[in-house]
Amino acid sequence: MTTEPAASRTATPASPQNHALSENHASLIVQGEDRTGIVAAVSAVLSGHGANIVSLDQYSDDPQGGAFYQRTVFSLANLKAVLPTIERDLETELAEGFDLGFTLRDMSVPKRVAVFASREDHCLLDLLWRHRRGQLPVTISMVVSNHTDTADEVRAFGVPFVHVPTGEMGKAAAEAEHLRLLRGNVDFVVLARYMRILSGDFIASLGVPIINIHHSFLPAFIGAAPYAKAKERGVKLVGATAHYVTEDLDEGPIIEQDVVRVTHADTVVDIRRRGADVERTVLSRAVRWHSEDRVIRTDNSTIVFA
């Protein structure tokens, strides 16, 4: 109930244009060994092409010869036409001049993602709903599940749902099917409470980043049934962790974490309910940041320019 009765007639609150980045914007990630003059070299190339720097974040883990990370978003009227030239110039300046790696991406082309789920729907639905609301600048190419419980719901969002019954097929056949579906079709994968372990071979063969949501504050309660363990240990907060998947279970680089307070009076069911709220929030942040090139992966951690 508010004082603005007229507003509801004209406003379009669920417009898909919530994320500002789009037409004629590009992101540039630079990383490598820190040296004097990198920021100047990058910005000289960009301003040489008339690009306007919209945002710039920079981090050096040690000013004396540590690692250098920079995220730059810039806009340019005829971006698509000029991007190849900018890339070539950056190649010359950064890769040859400074021995730095870089990634340049046209932000008007959303990343394509497949979401994996099992029976729990809270993380999956939250992603679908945020996407529809215009809060996730991605294309959700498909939802893959080892169960059919969420099929109708997913299709109601206009997203393809594919059932891959890993239990019946066996793990090897299921992973082969997953590869067939995903390869060439997606830029990253999100495990939205997918209750199956991916093999190291699958992760290597797939070749795109995989983001998982783990229902504990890692590294506490690694492995199965973390909420039950949390109850048993008598902790006063439970949490969730979004991380990149590596071969080592629950050990990959952490993207985001958050926690919520619980008390002695909360049963495991209560804790699971509170935890589910944190899981969907944390996962949606991680997916959003990854979609906007805000996360740089290092050996065992991440740089997040949120």
Q: What token pair was written down for 71?
A: 């995220």
197 binds a copy of itself (CB under 8 A): yes
According to DSSP, the β-strands at 138-145 and 111-117 are parallel
| Of 278, 303, 291, the residue nearest 110 (C-alpha) | 291
**Contact with a copy of itself (CB under 8 A) among 86, 111, 115, 118:** 118
Site string for a copy of itself, 260-299 (x = CB under 8 A): ---xxx-x-x--xx---x---x----------------x-
Q: Which of 79, 198, 283, 287 binds a copy of itself (CB under 8 A)?
A: 198
Among 52, 85, 92, 185, binds a copy of itself (CB under 8 A): 52
Choice from 119, 155, 163, 183 touching a copy of itself (CB under 8 A): 119
Q: Quick one: which H or E segment has residue 273?
A: helix 268-291
3-state secondary structure (DSSP) of residue 109: coil
Tell me the per-residue interface mask from 12 to 51 with a copy of itself, x by CB under 8 A, - otherwise.
Answer: xxx---x-x-------------xxxxxxxx-xx-xxx-xx
Smallest distance from the beta carbon of 104 to a copy of itself, in angstroms? Answer: 17
Residue 222 CB-density burial (10 A; 0-12 exposed, 13-18 middle, 19+ buried): middle
Say how far apart CA 53 and CA 269 lie, in whole Å: 49
End-to-end CA distance of the chain: 33
User: Judged by CB, which is closer to a copy of itself: 54, or 181?
Assistant: 54
Of the pair 186, 259, the CB lying nearest a copy of itself is at 259
CA distance readout (Å), 291 to 107, 155, 187, 221? 9, 22, 10, 28
- Out of 250, 266, 270, 277, the active site residue is 250
Question: 51-57 — which CB contacts under 8 Å span 24+ positions?
Answer: 51/75, 51/76, 51/86, 52/76, 54/25, 57/305
According to DSSP, the residues that pair with 284 across neighbouring strands are none
Of residues 124, 266, 131, 118, the one with CA closest to residue 195: 118
| Interacting residues with a copy of itself between 206 and 245 (CB under 8 A) | 212, 214-215, 217-221, 223-225, 232-237, 239, 245
Residue that is written with structure tokens 């902790």 in the block? 235
Q: How many of the chain's residues bind a copy of itself (CB under 8 A)?
A: 104
Is residue 185 at the binding interface for a copy of itself, with CB under 8 A as the rule? no
Shortest Cβ distance from residue 209 to a copy of itself (Å)? Answer: 14
Contact pattern for a copy of itself over residues 163 through 182, marking x by CB under 8 A: ---xx---------------
Q: Which of 146, 159, 164, 175 binds a copy of itself (CB under 8 A)?
A: 146
| Catalytic residue flag (residue 250) | yes
| Residue 83 found at the interface with a copy of itself (CB under 8 A) | no
Does the protein bind a copy of itself through residue 148 (CB under 8 A)? no
Q: Which is nearer to a copy of itself, 125 or 179 (CB)?
A: 125
- Rounded to an integer, what distance in angstroms lies between the CA atom of residue 290 and that of residue 136? 10
Residues with a known catalytic role: 250
